[in-house]
Structure 1
Amino acid sequence: MIRLLVLGTAFAALLASPTLAQQPTKLLNASYDVSRELFAAENEAFIKQHPGVTIDQSHAGTSKQARSIVEGLEADVVTFNQSTDIDFLAKNGFVSKDWTKAFPNNASPFYSFPSFLVRAGNPKNIKDWGDLARDDVHAVFPNPKTSGNSRYTYLAAYAWAKEAYKGDQGKIEAYITKIFNNVPVFDTGGRAATTTFVERETGDVLITFEAETRGIVKQYGKDKVESVIPSVSLLAEFPVAVVDKVAKKHGTEALAKSYLDFLYSEEGQRIAAEFGNRVNNEKVAAEVKGQFPDIRLVKVDDVFGGWEKVQKEHFASGGTLDKLYGSR
C-alpha cells in the first residue's frame, strides 16, 4: 500500500510537470491599427469561455506587422485588414499557402469599407469622393506606404475615379495626385490619423473604415463629428490566419484555431457589429441591419483584377502608387 502511494504521488508530480501536463494558455494576436477596442471586447468574451487563457495584442499597420513577424514577432494569430500581408507571411513560410480555405468567407469574419468623417454640420458639404479633390478640402488619411487602411482609401478613390472619368487614365491620375496634395500630414497608421483629425482638429474630412467612423461618433458625439457614406466604396475584408510556424513552436495550434473560430460565432459577430463592422453571419446581420446604411460596394477582383495584380501594378516598387505619391 505504501509503495502504491509513493508511485501514485510520483505519477501525480510527473503530470504536474509543465512540460507534460500544462497546455499552452497564451496567444499573441497581431492586428491592424484601429482594432484595439474591438479585440479588447472579443478577447474578454473569449476568455470567459476559456478561463485561464491570456490574449495579448499587438497593433500597427498590417504591412508593418507582417514584416515584424518575419523579423521575429512571435504572433500566434493575425487579424489583418488586407490579404496581401497574409500572403507575404505565406510566401515566407509562416502561414499555410491555402490559408484562405482555413476559415469561412475567404478567412474574413467581418468587413467594412472606406468612409468619411466630417466636422459637425459638415461645413464643407463633403458628400462623395469627388469633393476630396476640391481646393478647399483637406483630407486626412494615413500613409499608404505603411497602412493597409490607407491603401483601401487609395483603391476606393481610384475605383470611383475610374467610373467618374470613364477610364481616362490621365484624369484618374490627376485626381489621385490632387487628393494626395491636399493631405496636410501623413500619419503611419489609421489611429494616428484619427487623432490628427479629431483631437488636433487638422483637416476637413477623415477617410477611414466605416467601423472606425462609427466608433469615433459614438466616442466624441454628433455635436463634434458626423459620418458621411459616399455613393460607392471598396469592400474591405478583414482576413485572419493562424501563424502556423509560431503556433507550432508554442504548441498553440488548437487554441489559436479556437480563438479565430470564436470570431465567427454569434457572440463574436455581435461584438464585431457593436464596434461598427458589417458581419457575415446571416442571423446577426439581420439583427443589426437597421443600424447600417445601404451602400454600393465594389470588389478588388472586379475593378482591379485581384490583389496579386493590384500588388504588382499599384503597390510594388515603381508602381502607380510610387508614381503618384512620390516621395511624400
Structure 2
Amino acid sequence: MKKRVLSIILAAALTVTAFAGCGASSSSEAENSGKVTITNVSYDPTRELYQAYNEIFAKHWKEKKGQDVEVTQSHGGSGKQALQVANGLDADVVTLALEYDVKAIQNAGLIKDGWLDNFDNDSSPYTSTIVFLVRKGNPKNIKDWDDLAKDGIGVITPNPKTSGGARWNYLAAWAYADKAYNSDETKIKEFIKKLYKNVLVLDSGARGATTTFVENGQGDVLIAWENEAFLSKRDYPDDYEIITPSVSILAQPSVAVVDDLVDKRGTREVATEYLSYLYSDEAQKIAADNYYRPSNEKILKQYSDVFDLNLNLVTIKDFGGWDKVQEKHFADGGVFDQIYEK
C-alpha cells in the first residue's frame, strides 16, 4: 500500500480523535504544565505537511514551555470545512485553502476582524499554484488550458462549491481564457462551459479528485494543486507527469486562530505559536519538502530545482479580491451555476 494511502488512514483516525476529544478540553487543561491539545481544521491536501510539521512543533513547544502538545487534525474540502467550523466544529486554528473560507468563519463571529494581518504575507505561510497531472507519456498531448476543452478529453477537478482548490482551478482557467479571448466575457464563459462539460467527476475536495484520477484511473488529466501533483509523481514515478500551463494562479492558503474557541479553552498562546512557527526556517523547509512554496523567498530559491519560479501567475487581486469573486462566480446562481451542466 502506498505511503499516501496510509497517511490518509492515519489522518482519518486523528480526525476521529479530534471530534471525540476536543469537547472535553478546558482552560484548566490548557493551563496545566503537563499537556495541551489543540485542533487544526485544514483542507484536503495538507495531511502530509501537517503530519510532519506537528512533530517539529511539539518539540519546539516542549523546549519553549516545557509542555507536551498534541495536535489533532481534520481534513476535507476547504469550503465544507469552513462551514462546519462556522456551525460548531471545534477548531483552535484553521489552515484553509483560501482567504474567503476563513472570512466565512469570521462572519459567523468566531474569528475577530483583522486576522489577515496577524501573520506575515496576509497570513499565508506558504503558497501553491495550479498545474496539470497527466498519465506518463501524455497520450492526449495536453499542453495548455485550451486542450482541456477539446472533445474526447476527460477532466478531473473538484467541485468549486465545496473545494478551495477547485476555485483556484476555475480561476486559473478563467485567467487563461481572459487572455486568449481579450476579456470577451461571452467567449470566456463558452470556453469554461466546454471545459466543465468534459469533467467526469466533481469530487468534494482536492484529495478526493486525486484519488479519482490516480487510484481509480478515471480521466485523462487532473487539474491539481502543484503539491498534489508532485506527491502523485513521487508516489508513482513511472505513471504520471506534470504539465505546467502557460497561465496559472498564485494560490494563497490562509491560516487563522479561531478566537472564540481559544478564549474558551485557554489555548490562545499555543494556538498562536502553532501558526507563527510555520514561518520558521525549519517549518518553511518542511513546507517545501511537501511541495508547497515557502513564503520565505530565500528558502524558496533554495528549491528552484523543484519549483518553476518563472511561471506566469495571476493573483486573486487581478479578479478584484475574494468577496467579488465569490459573489460573481461561486454564489448560488453565479457564473459557475450558470455554465455547469452535470
- TM-score normalised by structure 2 residue count: 0.88
Instruction: Write the mapping of 1:17-32 to structure 2, written as runs, cut at 5 A.
Output: 22-23=32-33, 25-32=36-43
Contact 1:112 1:210 (C-alpha < 8 Å) held by counterparts: yes
Cα distance, 1:39 vs structure 2: 0.7
Tell me the secondary structure at the aligned position of residue 303 of structure 2: helix
For each residue in 1:147-167, what CA deviation from the matched residue of structure 2 results, as whole angstroms up to 9, or x when unmatched?
111111111101110100111
| Aligned-partner residue type, residue 34 of structure 1 | P
Residue in structure 1 matched with residue 246 of structure 2 by the alignment = 231
| Aligned-partner residue type, residue 130 of structure 2 | P
Structure 1 residues 44 and 20: alpha-carbon distance in aligned structure 2, compared to 1, 3 A threshold: closer
Contact 1:81 1:239 (C-alpha < 8 Å) held by counterparts: yes
Contact 1:38 1:272 (C-alpha < 8 Å) held by counterparts: yes
Cα distance, 1:170 vs structure 2: 1.8
Deviates more, 1:288-297 or 1:144-153: 288-297
Indicate which of 44, 51, 55 corresponds to 2:71: 55
Instruction: Write the mapping of 1:251-262 to structure 2, written as runs, cut at 5 A.
Output: 251-262=266-277
For each residue in 1:225-261, what CA deviation from the matched residue of structure 2 results, as whole angstroms up to 9, or x when unmatched?
0111111101100110000001111110000010001
Structure 1 residues 19 and 215: alpha-carbon distance in aligned structure 2, compared to 1, 3 A threshold: closer
Tell me the secondary structure at the aligned position of residue 208 of structure 1: strand
Residue in structure 2 matched with residue 168 of structure 1 by the alignment = 184
Contact 2:288 2:294 (C-alpha < 8 Å) held by counterparts: yes
The reply to whether residue 37 of structure 1 matches residue 13 of structure 2 is no
Indicate which of 116, 137, 152 corresponds to 1:100: 116
Indicate which of 199, 210, 223 corresponds to 1:183: 199
Structure 1 residues 242 and 20: alpha-carbon distance in aligned structure 2, compared to 1, 3 A threshold: closer
Distance in 2, matches of 1:149 and 1:89, equals 18
Higher Rg: 1
Cα distance, 1:290 vs structure 2: 2.2
Distance in 1, matches of 2:69 and 2:293, equals 28
Instruction: Write the mapping of 1:205-244 to structure 2, written as runs, cut at 5 A.
Output: 205-221=221-237, 223-244=238-259
Instruction: Write the mapping of 1:303-318 to structure 2, written as runs, cut at 5 A.
Output: 304-318=319-333
Tell me the secondary structure at the aligned position of residue 105 of structure 1: helix
Deviates more, 1:279-288 or 1:130-139: 279-288
Tell me the secondary structure at the aligned position of residue 35 of structure 1: helix
For each residue in 1:72-91, what CA deviation from the matched residue of structure 2 results, as whole angstroms up to 9, or x when unmatched?
11100000111101111111
Tell me the secondary structure at the aligned position of residue 161 of structure 2: coil
For each residue in 1:43-63, what CA deviation from the matched residue of structure 2 results, as whole angstroms up to 9, or x when unmatched?
111112224110000001111
Indicate which of 277, 280, 290 corresponds to 2:295: 280
| Aligned-partner residue type, residue 268 of structure 1 | A
For each residue in 1:156-191, what CA deviation from the matched residue of structure 2 results, as whole angstroms up to 9, or x when unmatched?
101110100111222111111111110111111111
Distance in 1, matches of 2:298 and 2:197, equals 44
> Can you give the 5+ residue segments of structure 1 that lack an aligned partner in the other structure?
1-16
Identity within the alignment, %? 47
Distance in 1, matches of 2:181 and 2:152, equals 21
When the two structures are aligned, how many residues end up with a matched partner? 309
Task: Report runs of 4+ in structure 1 exceeding 6 Å deviation.
Answer: none
Indicate which of 256, 265, 279 corresponds to 1:250: 265
Cα distance, 1:288 vs structure 2: 1.2
Contact 1:91 1:97 (C-alpha < 8 Å) held by counterparts: no
Cα distance, 1:18 vs structure 2: 5.2
CA RMSD of aligned residues (A): 1.5
Distance in 2, matches of 1:306 and 1:98, equals 16
Residue in structure 2 matched with residue 12 of structure 1 by the alignment = none
Tell me the secondary structure at the aligned position of residue 72 of structure 2: strand
Cα distance, 1:220 vs structure 2: 1.2
Residue in structure 1 matched with residue 338 of structure 2 by the alignment = 323
- TM-score normalised by structure 1 residue count: 0.91
Distance in 2, matches of 1:237 and 1:21, equals 33
Distance in 2, matches of 1:138 and 1:179, equals 9
Contact 2:30 2:265 (C-alpha < 8 Å) held by counterparts: no
Cα distance, 1:282 vs structure 2: 2.5
Structure 1 residues 19 and 260: alpha-carbon distance in aligned structure 2, compared to 1, 3 A threshold: closer
Instruction: Write the mapping of 1:56-135 to structure 2, written as runs, cut at 5 A.
Output: 56-135=72-151
Distance in 1, matches of 2:29 and 2:107, equals 32
Distance in 2, matches of 1:300 and 1:269, equals 23
Contact 1:217 1:225 (C-alpha < 8 Å) held by counterparts: yes
